[in-house]
Amino acid sequence: MSGYIRNRQRIWIMRILTGILATVFFYNVFYDAGEVSAIEYSEIYTYEDLLMMADNPDGNYILMQDIDMNGREWKPIDFSGSFDGNGYALLNVTVTGLSDSTMQTYDGNMKVYDTYLAGFFGVLSNASVSNLNLINYHAQVTAEQPCFVGSIAGYSENSTITGCNINAYIRLDAHDRMFGVGGIVGYGNGRIEGTDATVQLICNDTDSANRDEQFLGGAYGAGYFDLDNCHIDIDGYVSEHGYVHNGGVAGLYILYPSGTVYEGYLTNTRVTGKISFYEDNTDRRAYCKDFIGEVMNWTYQVAGNSSDFVRDESYDYSVVLLPHTCAEPVYTKEIIAADCENYGYELYHCQICGYEYRDNYIAREHIVEEWRIVKEASVDDYGVEEGECTLCGKSVRRITEKLEEPETTETITQSETESTELITEASTTQPENETTNEAVSETKNVEWIAVAALCIVVFVIIIAVLIKGKRR
């Protein structure tokens, strides 16, 4: 063979090897990309599962059933992962405390405050919350420092809230420089889409001596959120001895910090309801509008919105404006039962003035005759069962209690055999359960070892070919 032919051979071998390497490389890059989009979620069934999120706030979580939080105080969690409510509800979440740490908030004069926060989540950063029903969320906060209170979150940084359904009561009593209430988020920026919020918001300035900055909005108190396809129904009450900023969507639209350029949007959103307020201040602004109270920056697109909104200003500065004003109310209580589609609740009716409110919501109840085991209960962990509702046909899950410590070895062997069978059965019908996830990651490991081995073989061939070529 002439040197020319040998050279050509070597070039072709090199081309083929490069091709193989490139294929392996790109296959892995795209295979990985595919893996990332199929996110693995930690399933949440109980109040205790929710608490565990604080240990891994970057994680991905999915709610697997309605959870009634009645009678339990909730401490806001700072969160930067994703939370998929999966169409289920957190009922009767109660918040009374503020966050331990602060975030910086800006007022209309770009003055900065270290501000405390409260919400189901304290601070959301680069997080997403979706398909969550937050039903009868109840926050009652008294603050001595600047603070903002919301329902989904106290503060949001570049986070997304989509497809949520919120029914909230939030009351803030405060007096220090800058404070406010948002029906969905207290303060911040991000996106809110396809979300319905029915909110009763009360913001009361407890100190008539200082002229502070007060903010209240059906979606958010202040900041710069994009909204699309939302419905906000607000019932707001503001008693302020300073400057009010109130709106059906937001109290103040402000790009912050200084120099921020952002082209946001407020589209296809409907506002209904009323804000009752007073501004006890000689230097009056009295911002109160159907969408945004005070607009600092006109950089967003506004289209397709509608409102049916009442601005209800009053001038008696000696009272605190509240939804119910009977000094000594007398209530009757009626319990409305839950069914497949609707939450139940207690309906309170004031016999003196006719005022009504709902409280202590009850989780939806399906009727399932046959339960299949998805995850066998163990001594350390609860089990999961699944079945179809005989009324609505919806597939629902329930948890089963942890097992008691077994007494004899015989019973252990028997129950272990049983559980193995049932889990195998369940994994064929339920591809996203834990067993399958483990299997997927194992396959992935094996694949990586194979790729690494292939790369080594390819490199050895290249070197061998090069050495051979040199010798000749």
What stretch of H or E contains 152?
none
CB of 340 to Zn ion, least distance (A): 3
Identity of the residue, 81 or 387, whose beta carbon is nearer to Zn ion in the bound complex = 387
CB of 342 to Zn ion, least distance (A): 11
Identity of the residue, 10 or 394, whose beta carbon is nearer to Zn ion in the bound complex = 394
Measured CA to CA, the distance from residue 187 to residue 250 in angstroms comes to: 10
CB of 193 to Zn ion, least distance (A): 28
Convert 361-425 into a string of H (helix), E (strand) and C (coil). EECCCCCECCCEEEECCCCCCCEEEEEEECCCCCEEEEEECCCCCCCCHHHHHHHHHHHHHHHHH
Identity of the residue, 116 or 343, whose beta carbon is nearer to Zn ion in the bound complex = 343
Identity of the residue, 17 or 340, whose beta carbon is nearer to Zn ion in the bound complex = 340
Sorted by sequence, the CB contacts under 8 Å of residue 460 that are 6+ apart come out as none
Alpha-carbon distances, residue 235 vs 199, 312, 316, 323 (angstroms)? 6, 11, 19, 8
Measured CA to CA, the distance from residue 220 to residue 292 in angstroms comes to: 10
CB of 277 to Zn ion, least distance (A): 21
Identity of the residue, 231 or 394, whose beta carbon is nearer to Zn ion in the bound complex = 394
CB of 166 to Zn ion, least distance (A): 23
Identity of the residue, 186 or 387, whose beta carbon is nearer to Zn ion in the bound complex = 387
First CA to last CA distance, the chain: 11
Identity of the residue, 67 or 377, whose beta carbon is nearer to Zn ion in the bound complex = 67
Q: Residue for token digits 């000696």?
A: 318
Identity of the residue, 353 or 452, whose beta carbon is nearer to Zn ion in the bound complex = 353
Task: Decide: 176 and 212 in contact? Cβ < 8 Å.
Answer: yes
CB of 274 to Zn ion, least distance (A): 18
Measured CA to CA, the distance from residue 59 to residue 128 in angstroms comes to: 11
CA 112 centroid distance within chain: 27
Identity of the residue, 114 or 341, whose beta carbon is nearer to Zn ion in the bound complex = 341
CB of 170 to Zn ion, least distance (A): 21
- What one-character DSSP code corresponds to residue 330? -
Length of the chain: 472
CB of 67 to Zn ion, least distance (A): 18
Nearest residue to 183 via CA among 226, 245, 239, 119: 119
CB of 45 to Zn ion, least distance (A): 18
Alpha-carbon distances, residue 44 vs 23, 86, 338, 435 (angstroms)? 40, 10, 22, 16
Which residues would be at the binding site for Zn ion (CB under 5 A)?
326, 329, 340, 350, 352-353, 355, 366, 389, 391-392, 394
Measured CA to CA, the distance from residue 312 to residue 133 in angstroms comes to: 30
Residue 290 backbone zone (phi > 0: left; psi -120 to 50: alpha; other: beta): alpha
